[in-house]
Amino acid sequence: MTRRAAFLDRDGVLIEEVHHLHRAEDVRLIPGAAAAVRRLRELGLAVVVVTNQSAVARGLCSEEELAGIHARLRELLRADGADWDDLLYCPHHPTEGVGRYRTACDCRKPSPGMLLEAARRHALDLGRSFLVGDKASDLEAARRVGCAAVLVRTGHGARQPPGTPSDAVVADLPAAAAWIGDRMVAP
Ligand SMILES: [Mg+2]
Ligand SMILES: [Zn+2]
């Protein structure tokens, strides 16, 4: 038995884009994001957050600060009846930063390592799953494992050029959840 998933990028999709966010008090949900996450789970999808956090490699945010940010984000979602099934982050960067974080890993999007790891953990059917992102690297990670890719116009999505390859382009996460909902009920 396998589940379908909705993979959600964090910055610019779930929360407002803040360059190298490192303080929990700066976490702001995109309007309607919690209701959208609720809707995705009501559809039976596993909601999995997948986020590149090279701020860790760059020494701008510690893994402890990152844990605080994610605790705050989860608190905001839960206050509105939403939650995620899992969250995976890539703390690496191939050329920037220090120590073990400076590495050409296979988890930094557009590599699909986080999607593959989530699929392994939760027995997900990637070919029938969805990803919502605001950057071409998100959409490319989805493409590499056969997920449908939805580009939102929030965050960096406002600046993605027309013709960026995706299965849909919508305004924001609530619109993405509606698009996914339509696909779930289609024969
Ligand atoms: Mg993003
Ligand atoms: Zn990584």
Give tens-digit pLDDT for 34-88: 999 999 999 999 999 999 999 999 999 999 999 999 999 999 999 999 999 999 9
Tokens of 73: 């984000």
- Catalytic, 85? Answer no
Q: How far is the CA of 133 from the centre of ligand 1 (A)?
A: 6
Q: How far is the CA of 182 from the centre of ligand 1 (A)?
A: 24
pLDDT at 31 over 90: yes
Average pLDDT estimate for 103-127: 97
Residues in CB range of 58: below 8 A, 6 or more apart: 20, 93, 96, 97
116: left (phi over 0), alpha (psi -120 to 50) or beta: alpha
Domain ranges (residues) in the chain: 5-185
Q: How far is the CA of 12 from the centre of ligand 1 (A)?
A: 5
pLDDT at 187 over 60: no
- From the candidates 11, 134, 138, 172, which is the catalytic residue? 11
- Catalytic, 11? Answer yes
pLDDT at 1 over 70: no
Give me the architecture of the 5-185 domain, per CATH. 3-Layer(aba) Sandwich (3.40)
Tokens of 173: 């996460």
pLDDT band at 161 (very low <50, low <70, confident <90, very high): confident
Q: Which secondary-structure segment (H or E) carries 90?
A: strand 86-90
Q: How far is the CA of 122 from the centre of ligand 2 (A)?
A: 20
3-state secondary structure of 6: strand
pLDDT at 160 over 70: yes
